[in-house]
Amino acid sequence: MLAKIYITGVIGEDVSLLDVMRQYKSFSNPTSVEVIIDSVGGSVDVGQSIFSYLRNLQIPVKTYAKRAYSIASVIFMAGDEREVEQGQERLMIHFPFVQNASGGSKELEDLTKQLKALESDFIKFYGIYTGIDADTIKTLLENETFLSGDDAFDLGFATTVSIPLAAVAYYTPEEINDTKTNKNVIMKNAEKLIKALQVFVSPKEVPTEIVALVLQDANGIEITFPAVADDAMPEVGDTATVDGAPAEGEYVAPDGSTFVFSGGELTEVKPAEEPAPETEEEAAARIAKEEEDARLALENENSEITKLLETLFNKATSEVEEKFNTALTALAEENKKVNDELKAMRVLLGSAEVKIEAQEKENRGTAGRSKALAILNKRK
């Protein structure tokens, strides 16, 4: 089941995190999410919280941008698949700024530091999702850059570009399917031939141009009603073709209604399904669940922050411990070197003492012999 979430207007004023959560929780067991964005931006904090909420959903998320300016472009990046409408000024990115700031030099200095930190975060954020180098991203943000649908795709902000779906009516067969397939070309030429023959047989009864109604379904498939005027709506019994062949099966219109065809004939028009009205008990239960989900989301965000702080602390502690161990190793090596030098000095000193002692002994012996000789000489 696809859950559709609409983010329109000013972020933080017209739409909040709680609004987004309520929209999502109104669907029972959705398997995927489509977020349709038409916003000029707004609060950075609210926009970042909506981005985090969408990224933490455990199902595929697709974002669709009719217009995503400023912080709304950040929400757009939450999609695993990011589709932008073709046309000018679909996305706009710029550095965050503060309006009506006041205070002393200390307050303004603190505010400047916060803004610089946010600027650095924005450069890293867009760089991760687009693969564009930091200097180029910085230049785009500094110049408050507006991107067309094609530019957003080329730069990596969007993964696909789509043509806005709309009901259209135009002349056929002259102005449609000029180069689609050989089948369409053959049908076009056949219709021209029939028209020429009709003019030849009864020129006054043939209109100057054939008019037909062409509608697009929710997937952009064109359904042609050759007998329905371009300012009317098809009814049961009308015939239609798809790519030149009789329409067959069901086609869902952008408004949610369903056209059912059999053998090219419109057999049924199913109105769009409207959700059953919510009871007071269901509303109370839904609000309670949304509040609980919001609380859990906040706890999860706080837990993530705590984990990040623990990681940073552990990293810092590890780096300090590594440096301390390196210093201890260097000190131990230096001590060993000093001890080795002291041992060498002791050996040298010991050798010198032995030599001195031997010399003293020799001197004492020489003195003794001299004294003995002197005594012997006296006795003679």
Tokens of 204: 């006054």
Percentage, residues of the chain above pLDDT 70: 75
Q: How far apart are CA 46 and CA 42, in angstroms?
A: 8
Q: Where are the domains of the chain?
A: 2-94+144-162, 168-270, 279-380
pLDDT band of 186, cuts 50, 70, 90: very low
User: Looking at the predicted structure, is the pLDDT value of residue 10 above 70?
Assistant: yes
Tokens of 160: 């696909």
Please give the mean pLDDT across all residues of the chain. Answer: 79
For the chain, the first-to-last Cα distance in angstroms comes to: 139
pTM confidence score: 0.43
- Measured in degrees and rounded to the nearest 5, phi and psi for residue 11 equal -65, 130
Range with the lowest mean pLDDT among 103-107, 171-175, 327-331? 171-175
Per the model's pLDDT, the better-predicted residue between 353 and 339 turns out to be: 339
Tokens of 357: 């002692």
Assigned CATH class of 2-94+144-162: alpha beta
